[in-house]
Amino acid sequence: MKRVVITGMGTVTPLGNDVDTFWKNSLAGESGAATITHFNPEKFKVQFAAEVKNFTPEKYLDKNEIKRSDLFTQFAIYASAEAMEDSGLDLASIDPFDIGVIWGTGQGGMQTFEDDVIDFATGDGTPRFSPFFVPKLIANMASGMISMKYGLRGINYTTVSACATANTAFMDAFNYIRWGKAKIIVSGGSEAPITQASVGGFSSMKAMSTRNDDPKAASRPYDVERDGFIMGEGAGALILEEYEHAKARGAKIYAELIGAAMTADAYHMTAPHPEGIGAAKSMELALEDANITSEQVDYLNPHATSTLLGDLAELNAITKVFKGSPNLDISATKSMTGHLLGAAGAVEAILCIKAIQNSIIPPTINISNLDENIPVGINIVTEPKEKEINIAMSNAFGFGGHNSTVIFRKI
């Protein structure tokens, strides 16, 4: 099969609206969490989130694109535009049917749905829905609008697997390219979930932190006082390209995607399997796909959302797979970004690639008291750590029992 490399990256995050700023603030251990500004959270149990700041879609989107798209699509187009610019692709020299878009989102146009339904419900019963209501709402519109912006006529669709979504998109793009079905695929995930219904819904499940008095310290994976995740928003985009094609055009190559896998827990709607059976198998299959051993993995960016059950279940799985490998370092970067749901795997893949590129691991912040139930032999990085990283793994898991793993290698 053909090899697949990363030749472009782009992002919009609570820590910065381009890859360099995002990376700089991650190394600095910044937190993107603060009181919600998207709506008045005064009556909500959870009153904070990790919002994107100073977002100016006009940098990459024209007026019509902004008018006709939900925020999750704007994030997607913006991140993809940065990635396309970064890749140096000359689209005029490439068959448009050789370039596709496989994009992911967990919720789609949540704000669009909420706004129009509230308007209808509080009116006199006369339906006055926007003609853009459905196009802005549906999850596949991000991939569609990215393709329209650049005239990309290849494979085009959207993946949805809750918080595993972006990794699912990467895995599909990886497979299509190595099977020879495409030369280049724009792939990633975006999410704009900080709405009244979404925050209220997750809060009612008791899945989110309620540390309203100290938002920046609220996302605390592995800490004994962790009490749930912080909702985040944004997007991450990668340009995945067939290696020989990239080499022939003299492309800058960041890393190689060498393995990917997915499994299901088949256990519970929202809780992970306590022994991490599905998560462990996802990592094992990804290692097998990459044709490497667990001892070769230098860095792992875990799912680690800061929930009581989820953090330990994943660490149990990691212990099973890596068996205390002294080479493995772990850092849980959701402690800084919050949880971007369907976009989480995308921004964490970028951090893995930047770690490979710069030989430094970003930290886990907010650990004051390490949970005594953390398995022995787990090395959690709490300060930026210089280390040569040849291979990095990233996990993303989602409600419904979806487990996903991707592996990147220095090239």
Tell me which residues are annotated as active site: 163, 303, 339
Q: Distance (Å, rounded) from C-alpha 142 to C-alpha 365? A: 32
DSSP code string of 159-201: E-BTBTHHHHHHHHHHHHHHTTS-SEEEEEEEE---SHHHHHH
Residue listed under structure tokens 């009581």:
308
User: Could you count the other beta carbons within 10 Å of the beta carbon of residue 99?
Assistant: 25
Rounded Cα gap, residues 273 and 227, in angstroms? 19
Cβ atoms of 410 and 272 closer than 8 Å? no
Q: Whole-angstrom Cα distance, residue 321 to residue 375?
A: 13
Produce one character per residue of 28-66: b if its CB has 16 or more CB atoms within 10 Å, e if not.
Answer: ebbbbbeebebeebeebebbbbbbbeebebeebbeeebe
Q: Which residues of 300-313 are buried (b: 16+ CB within 10 A; e: fewer)?
A: bbbbbbbbeebbbb
Q: How open is the CA angle 82-84-89, to the nearest 5 degrees?
A: 145
Nearest residue to 82 (alpha-carbon basis) of 93, 74, 92: 74
DSSP 374: S
Burial class (CB in 10 A: 0-12, 13-18, 19+), 280: buried
Query: How far is residue 299's CA from residue 314's CA, in Å, rounded to a whole number?
Result: 15
Whether residue 174 contacts residue 394, with contact meaning beta carbons closer than 8 Å, is answered with: no
For residue 349, which phi and psi values (nearest 5 degrees)?
A: -65, -40
List Cα–Cα distances, 309 to 272, 322, 382, 397, in angstroms: 7, 20, 21, 13
